[in-house]
Structure 1
Amino acid sequence: MAANFWESTQRRHWQFSKDELAQMRENLEESEQSLVQMFPLPQRRHLNIYFNQQLGRLGKRLGVRQQALATAQTYLKRFYCTVEIRRTNPYLVIATALYLACKMEECPQHIRLVVSEARTLWPDSLTLDISRLGECEFYMISEMHSQLIIHQPYRTLTSLQSDLFLSQDEANLALSIINDHYMTDLPLLYPPHIIALTAILLALVLRPNSPGGTATNMAAATAALMQAQAQAPGRTSSSNSSQNSVGVSDKERQQEARLNKVQRYAGFLTESNVDIEGMVDCTQELISFYECHEQYNDKITREQINRFVKARGLDKP
């Protein structure tokens, strides 16, 4: 992608503060108070998880690559910033977002195939034909003001993998975290490079079976960021004690090597002059999301969505 993020419509029109995003959503709900009261929905994070799962299921049937799935998820978020969810059939919006994203990411899917697979996947929730999908596509493009180019964090991760000496396991974990961030509000709050740098940090410090669990991981990530913020420019951390260690266990050596890598990363952040406060916020949001994911109930979320879809006749043409 040749376009510059700093001059893009994504930065100028689709990056908000938390307060701005909350106000937009509050205004939407106030404009549809009767619908909101009649059809309560799960918390937004749980909705995002469900939408992500449905998008993934459709994408798998169509053989869509991850870049297009990420773009489709971003389109969903933008669309539902301007349109109240209960006014739409989310299954139609999901299918449309993926169809449009595949066009933009230069891996187009035939509209007949998308319609066919969506019908098969959601037979009880969506009556779909080509004209209906086409109409929803124009509606979505209009709501996004034809601002369809999406900059993703994947490029930053790829370009920094060798510079930061990330192992393949660490790079894969960072990639997984980037994929997960599309189930949060972060794509609407921070630039892609901040997301990628946060994912790398978490890949370096996250240890699922570590004593203390999430709290320990959160503390380790925050400590690394605070070190970067407090460190004087040009100062580098040094720790070569492993070369002089005698009788140290393999586990201790691995722990020390990991600590050295985190310290080097903190030095890199200091020299690059990135938004550390933004990374702290991203870290907290992602850790909070993973905790929230543990309480997710697919059955309840699906039932609440299907209830308003059927009650309002949105499953019919």
Structure 2
Amino acid sequence: MSANYWESSQYKHWLFTKEELASMRQKLESENAETVQMFTLPEWRHLYIYFNQQIARLGKRLKIRQQAIATAQVYIKRFYIHIEIRRTNPYLVIATAVYLACKIEECPQHIRLIVSEARSLWQDSVSLDTSRLGECEFHLISEMGSHLIIHQPYRTLTSLQSDIRLSGEDFAFAWSIINDSYMTDLPLMFPPHIVALAAILLTLVMKPNMLPGSVPGGGMAGGSSSSSPAIPNAAAASAAAAAALAGTQNRGDKPMDPKVGRVQKFVVWLADSDVDVAALADCTQEILSFSAVQEQYNDKLTREQISRFVKARGLDK
């Protein structure tokens, strides 16, 4: 394992631009044009939402920690930029990715338990034959070039919590943004620390005046307030984030006002660091644009379209 991200296979082999990912997927569809035309599927981001939900369901039954869940999601993304989805049984791939991720993240699950729980969730799509999962595991590892160690944004978020003075509420909010990032291409497009910093930036922008220990929506911890936080719309959050990042270039050597807000303090921290601000801006915009994708997601349609090609092609046998 490479403890240094910059020396890892993730950095050397598994970072792509948006255009490169689109080209790879288009190539797969072109090579499988007849099948693609026969079985219509939603856009990839909607498939990611569905996969995320199914992995979460399986993870909950197995009581798997988030690190392994996230690793499984990255495995699936890597696999499906090399293999056209209609050639596979996504439910078997999900179960296999979770099984493999648990081994790599040192929380192993017995193969029979994985298969049994997967069968309980997706009765019509997963066989009880454990050899099928074993074969899929070999295929998954092969397509990933045996690059199985995944560096996650959670580590950066945790290490910066005290430095940036994130409250418990802030930390949980940023953590949830990172969780959502696995429904996008961000793990294939940006280093994990950039995703973590984007989550922190959005947390501070969306909740700029929250004091440490406060409860979203007003009041202090332990109080009676239970209202939801006032989250600005994506356009407002985008503008605020862009303005904050612009401040990293305009700060110069000006002394910091002791009364300055949390967003400005974060901007100062960024300006004094070696962080790629342009990449951070792009990552932030990708996260914000995902809100529109979620609004258009149709769970029933996605499930039916996946089941249709799995059944029609006999991939559930």
Q: TM-score, normalised by structure 1?
A: 0.90
Aligned-residue offset at 1:43: 1.1
AA of the residue aligned to 1:237: M
Match of 2:233 in 1: 213
**Kept after mapping to 1: 8 A contact 2:178/2:199:** yes
AA of the residue aligned to 2:295: E
Distance (whole Å) between structure 1 residues aligned to residue 233 and residue 299 of structure 2: 24
Distance (whole Å) between structure 2 residues aligned to residue 2 and residue 39 of structure 1: 41
Match of 1:262 in 2: 263
Aligned-residue offset at 1:235: 3.9
Match of 1:247 in 2: none
AA of the residue aligned to 2:266: Y
Instruction: Identify, as 1 or 2, the structure richer in helix.
Output: 1
Unpaired runs of at least 5, structure 1? 241-258
Match of 1:303 in 2: 304
Taking the TM superposition and a 5 Å limit, the aligned residue runs for 1:228-307 are: 228-232=248-252, 234-238=253-257, 240=259, 260-307=261-308
Aligned-residue offset at 1:231: 2.5
Distance (whole Å) between structure 2 residues aligned to residue 236 and residue 313 of structure 1: 67
* Deviant stretches of 4+, over 6 Å: none
Taking the TM superposition and a 5 Å limit, the aligned residue runs for 1:84-163 are: 84-163=84-163
Match of 1:38 in 2: 38
Aligned-residue offset at 1:315: 1.0
Distance (whole Å) between structure 1 residues aligned to residue 194 and residue 54 of structure 2: 27
Q: 1:236 to 1:278 in 2, by over 3 A?
A: farther
What are the superposed Cα offsets for residues 121-179 of structure 1, whole Å, 9 maximum, x if unpaired?
10012224110000000000000010100000111111100000111101110000011
Distance (whole Å) between structure 2 residues aligned to residue 265 and residue 213 of structure 1: 21
**Kept after mapping to 2: 8 A contact 1:210/1:216:** no
SS for the counterpart of 1:123 is coil
Q: How much is the aligned-residue C-alpha RMSD, in angstroms?
A: 1.5
SS for the counterpart of 1:107 is coil
Distance (whole Å) between structure 2 residues aligned to residue 155 and residue 296 of structure 1: 30
Distance (whole Å) between structure 2 residues aligned to residue 128 and residue 277 of structure 1: 48
What are the superposed Cα offsets for residues 53-76 of structure 1, whole Å, 9 maximum, x if unpaired?
000000111110000000000000
Q: 1:116 to 1:205 in 2, by over 3 A?
A: same
**Kept after mapping to 1: 8 A contact 2:234/2:289:** no
Q: TM-score, normalised by structure 2?
A: 0.90
**Kept after mapping to 2: 8 A contact 1:195/1:279:** yes
What are the superposed Cα offsets for residues 48-101 of structure 1, whole Å, 9 maximum, x if unpaired?
000000000001111100000000000000000100000000000000000000
Q: How many residues align?
A: 297
Identity of aligned residues (%): 64
Q: 1:62 to 1:209 in 2, by over 3 A?
A: closer
Aligned-residue offset at 1:112: 0.6
AA of the residue aligned to 1:238: D
SS for the counterpart of 1:70 is helix
**Kept after mapping to 2: 8 A contact 1:235/1:267:** no
Aligned-residue offset at 1:273: 2.4
